Chain A
Amino acid sequence: MDRVYILIMGFLSVVIVNNFVFTKFLGTCPYLGVSGRLDTAFGMGLAVTFVTALSGIMTWLIDFYVLVPLGLEITRYICYIVVIAGAVQLVEMYVKKFFPSLNKSFGVFLPLISTNCVILGLCLFINIWGTDNLLEVTVLSTGTGFGFAVAICIMAAIRENLILADVPESFKGAPITLITAGLLALAFMGFTGMIQ
């Protein structure tokens, strides 16, 4: 029972309290660039969640069973990058084959997921946190991807309404988006301390 409790708390913690976009600023590029429409943002969020979960688990396995026993930690970053690029390729092939319509709406953004900082960031943070069992890694990586999806969907919904707002000419586009993100980060700070 304790273990399930820890897992649930870990999941909530990376989704809400330690949301990667609002507390670690990872994945800010797609966050500013893509999140103009809610449906695209939702699809993007799901794709990122899947890639994050897959590469989080795979990099942890490689790290734990190959790199550390062989003393090859120095090649860690290169291995991570190769794994992530492979995972993205896999998702791309899958989507192309089974969801051709979704593939069209993603366009060029799908291959660009591999340079999304959330994914590499998560692999590195799992390493820093020193997580040492596969179940926890799975929960944390799924949660992180899910947190990114939540953040990008909230932002897309706000931006759909922001079109109607009367923003000063110079602040249109990225500046107002960043300030909105600041206010959102402030709101998410309210969750701090909810989970120890």
Chain B
Amino acid sequence: MDPEREEKRVDERIRAAYRQPSAADEPARERLIARLASERTPRASGLRGWFAVREYHARPVWVFATLVAVLAVGSWLGARFAGRHAPIAMVPVAGPSDASTLPVTFVLRAPGATRVAVVGDFNNWDASATPMAHSGSGDLWVLNVRLPRGVHLYWFVLDGSEWRPDPSAPLAADGSFGGHNSVVVVNGGSGL
């Protein structure tokens, strides 16, 4: 027999066999499809997952739109926080009770003083920003404020001109501008 014809005949038999319904019936086929669908594609986990090759499908228009959105948000944030008119943060005398600030009480006995203020890191060293209140008829001056957690340096300023450290507080020893700053550590635990 012609080898070429024989080859075509065999080829046709194979095709016919493929076209025939499989021995497994329709329910079996559905079970197979369901099992395949339930199997999860194996994925690299943990750090290796970040380096594993993956296939992504994205429409170019969505990629472009995402980039535009990212740039827009970045520009807005830059303009929002880089503005020349960024306000100087002031200490809220009675701020909200959030976890980032904690109440602190300053007390000073200052006989003869007519005005006392606290000035320090927490109010941008503005001697007029945080005045203390005279307590009744005594010599005590008191201030309750909420301060951010952290280490803050401060002084008392009496009558706008006399700088006095807190006699009950620890001192910072640098004294870059003369004298020793007082220190308050706001941490919610063993604060000073």
A is bound by B: no
- Chain B residues with CB under 8 Å of chain A are none
